Amino acid sequence: GAGVSQSPSNKVTEKGKDVELRCDPISGHTALYWYRQSLGQGLEFLIYFQGNSAPDKSGLPSDRFSAERTGGSVSTLTIQRTQQEDSAVYLCASSLDRGRENEQFFGPGTRLTVL
Amino acid sequence: AQSVTQLGSHVSVSEGALVLLRCNYSSSVPPYLFWYVQYPNQGLQLLLKYTTGATLVKGINGFEAEFKKSETSFHLTKPSAHMSDAAEYFCAVLKAAGNKLTFGGGTRVLVKP
């Protein structure tokens, strides 16, 4: 079946602009995660959605970052007033539910470059 | 708090030689441990995981890892490297109460013919 998909695959933007990154999880997966992979910080957790519960936003680095998940499926990560340090690969993952045994399946990522 | 340390950001092995990637973790509770592989311009793919039970776990592509609680380690091995093993490998810990993966810094493997 189809895996996790993300769009766009690459995004180049100018400092100060807003960007939206999209994630389509695997059908039927109720848990969705966003991670960021950057040279300086490695792989780090950003935000986690589980069903209709309030998201765990503890990893978001600043209030310029926000995410939503509509209808329990597609998620959008929004970065407002982008800064050069936001340049990174943004990875989305999904899993069946919140059980720790459930594997997180990762998408190919969106490479964001802020000029 | 928990953390994951991978020793060596780059490892070079000859084709056919043993691959050994080291991972140590700190966790206040029994962890769930994972190894992921990332090929160029791709997302992460699960190689193997330890949850409970047998401490030696086997994964895909001939990889295996052993959970050693006394050493707080979860080293990844493969007896004979193949050119297709060239990739970056990440060790990760799953927090007991929650689903956030905490990753190590990654080890990039180069396989020489």
Q: Which two tokens stand for residue B65?
A: 């890892």
More confidently predicted of B108 and A102: B108
Residue A9 has pLDDT above 90, yes or no: yes
Question: In a 3-state reduction of DSSP, which class is residue B69?
Answer: helix
pLDDT digit string (tens) for B41-76?
888 999 999 988 889 999 999 999 999 999 999 999
Binning pLDDT at 50, 70 and 90, where does residue A2 land?
confident
Binning pLDDT at 50, 70 and 90, where does residue A1 land?
low
Residue A40 has pLDDT above 90, yes or no: no
Which residues does B87 contact at the CB level (< 8 Å), separation at least 6?
B37, B38, B39, B40, B108, B109
Q: Are B90 and B8 in contact (CB under 8 A)?
A: no
More confidently predicted of A66 and B40: A66
List of chain A residues whose C-beta atoms are within 8 Å of the C-beta of residue B32: 100-101
Q: Are B109 and B42 in contact (CB under 8 A)?
A: no
- Nearest CA to CA, how far is A27 from chain B (Å)? 18
Model pLDDT, residue A99: 65
Q: Do B100 and A59 touch (CB under 8 A)?
A: yes
Q: Which of A18-32, A71-85, B21-35, B89-103 has the lowest mean pLDDT?
A: B89-103
List of chain B residues whose C-beta atoms are within 8 Å of the C-beta of residue A45: 100-102
Binning pLDDT at 50, 70 and 90, where does residue A102 land?
confident
Residue B30's alpha-carbon distances to A43, B25, B68, in angstroms, are 22, 11, 11
Model pLDDT, residue A114: 97
Say how far apart CA A2 and CA A23 lie, in whole Å. 13
Span A53-57, mean pLDDT? 89
Model pLDDT, residue B98: 61
Report the residue of B101, B103, B107, B108 to disrupt the A interface, i.e. the one with the largest count of A CBs within 10 Å. Answer: B101
Q: Which two tokens stand for residue A102?
A: 């459930």
Residue B97 has pLDDT above 60, yes or no: no
Model pLDDT, residue B96: 59
What are the backbone angles phi and psi of residue A82, rounded to the nearest 5°? Answer: -55, 145
Task: Look at strands A110-114 and A10-13 and give their pairing.
Answer: parallel
Task: Look at strands A5-7 and A19-24 and give their pairing.
Answer: antiparallel
Report the residue of B44, B49, B50 to disrupt the A interface, i.e. the one with the largest count of A CBs within 10 Å. Answer: B44
Residue B30 has pLDDT above 80, yes or no: no
- Nearest CA to CA, how far is A59 from chain B (Å)? 9
